[in-house]
Structure 1
Amino acid sequence: MPDTTAPRASVSVPVPPSTPMPSTEDLAGTQASYDTVAASYAALLEDELGSRTIDRALLAAFAETATSAGLGAVGDLGCGPGRVTGHLASLGVDAFGVDLSPGMVAEARRRHPDLRFEVGSILDLDLPDGSLGGALLWYSTVHTPPAQLPAVYAEVQRVLAPGAPLLTAFKVGDCQVHLQHAYGHDLSLQVYWTPVELVTDLLARAGLVVDARVVCEPAPHEKQPQGYVLAHRPA
């Protein structure tokens, strides 16, 4: 893991040209795939955070930042079955979840009946401007083409309160993979690996201030590094 406090040279990153927003058919395909795997996904990843020390440390830093700021509830945007939402709640965060997949939301409600979960898209959140005291994008942009990330980050910036933090986690690289089988099921998902420099540049262009970036080398069972960026909306 690199030293996230060391000065960094300026890197010029080409911003991908804008493309049309995902079609209703594209979103429906992603939704259907996750509806299919919801129960299996939840069971397989239920205890994953227990073996990921760095993930827990970064989530703890995010949780402390959000609770210290005291700016409102924190949205786990693309929450899946709610495992990270529940972890944030265990750290004292007033957390709720939003996910595109009704199957995932149903699983999250079943597993965490004391927390709030809603069906929704990170491209069009049913939230007022400046209403969130923090936002988490925990691998929830991995199916978003890089050219559409500016729209995601603009929407997150819109709903964050001034001073509120954002933590995003993603797969590091510069390629696209078509996933046809996962979690014991056939499905069809596009997965995008994204350069860290592109993520930080697009966050800045959306009006967010980048505070830290971390890259972890692949674990033995993984194919790519994992990236994390902590940012905030300026007060």
Structure 2
Amino acid sequence: MTEPVYVSETRTAYDTVAESYAEMLKDFLKNATWDRAMITAFAELTGEGPVGDLGCGPGRLTGYLKSLGLDVFGVDLSPEMVAVARRTHPDIRFEVGSIAALDLADGSLAGALAWYSLIHTPPEQLPVLAKELARVLRPGGRLLTAFQVGENVRRRIENAYGHAISADAYRLDVDFMVKLLTDAGFVVEARTVREPGPEYEATDQAYLVARKAG
């Protein structure tokens, strides 16, 4: 089966920027107060059991979740990102994989983090990812996702982290995302929208915390 073009473009883009991305963002969380607050809240809400950082990149948030006491592992579409993550965090398990088809048993996770990892999928395809996230979470399991806010608008990225790339990203409507998760079997417990950062963001940023029903 031929994979969609947006998947192969996304993988190639992140393979290209993996080393630069990791270097440029390695200390980003120190000054990202809202990000830390939401991730810490997610960690406190998540019960005992495995937690997947799905779309983990170089593992910067995977490592932070481990420091908060979670039994966490990472999955990413990009083999180069996974290679960086394994080198940087040798005590954490990282695997290459896709959120659209996770190699995980039904109900096996206590929590899932999808941190800006849904933004490269066309909105009409996101129900597949939402249902997969619901499948791998146990009843009562928590999901935290973050994304740029917009009206499901596609933007073409031609340069990132000092490299020429070619990939799409989407700015997503908050109400659309809430309905997406609700339709997949989640109860959205919190939605937070903040203003863009002064130097590095062009639009509002959203965080959703959701609990798998049941």
Q: TM-score, normalised by structure 1?
A: 0.88
Q: Which runs of 4+ in 1 moved over 2 A?
A: 22-26
Instruction: For structure 2, list consecutive stretches of 5 or more residues without a partner in the other structure.
Output: none
**Partner residue in 1 for 2:169:** 191
1:164 alignment partner, SS class: strand
Q: Does residue 205 of structure 2 align to residue 226 of structure 1?
A: yes
Residue identity matched to 1:192: Y
State the superposition RMSD in angstroms.
1.3
**Partner residue in 1 for 2:37:** 57
CA shift, 1:172, in A, is 0.5
Identity in percent: 55
CA distance in 1 between counterparts of 2:187 and 2:4 reads: 32
Larger Rg: 1
CA shift, 1:23, in A, is 3.2
Quick one: which of 112, 121, 132 aligns to 2:109? 132
CA shift, 1:33, in A, is 1.0
Quick one: which of 121, 124, 134 aligns to 2:98? 121
Instruction: For structure 1, list consecutive stretches of 5 or more residues without a partner in the other structure.
Output: 1-21
- 1:96-145, CA deviations, whole angstroms, 9 ceiling, x for partnerless residues? 00000000000000100000000000000000000001000000011111
1:163 alignment partner, SS class: strand
CA contact (8 A) 2:75 2:96 kept: yes
CA shift, 1:24, in A, is 4.1
CA distance in 1 between counterparts of 2:160 and 2:110 reads: 34
Quick one: which of 176, 179, 182 aligns to 2:154? 176
**Partner residue in 1 for 2:63:** 86
**Partner residue in 2 for 1:216:** 194
Q: Does residue 7 of structure 2 align to residue 27 of structure 1?
A: yes
CA shift, 1:25, in A, is 3.5
Q: How many residues align?
A: 212
Residue identity matched to 2:179: D
1:210 alignment partner, SS class: strand
Residue identity matched to 2:12: A
Q: Which one is further off, 113-122 or 217-226?
A: 217-226
CA distance in 1 between counterparts of 2:7 and 2:175 reads: 27
CA distance in 2 between counterparts of 1:209 and 1:87 reads: 25
CA distance in 2 between counterparts of 1:190 and 1:30 reads: 8
Q: Does residue 41 of structure 2 align to residue 41 of structure 1?
A: no
**Partner residue in 1 for 2:123:** 146
- 1:58-83, CA deviations, whole angstroms, 9 ceiling, x for partnerless residues? 101100111xx22x200000000000
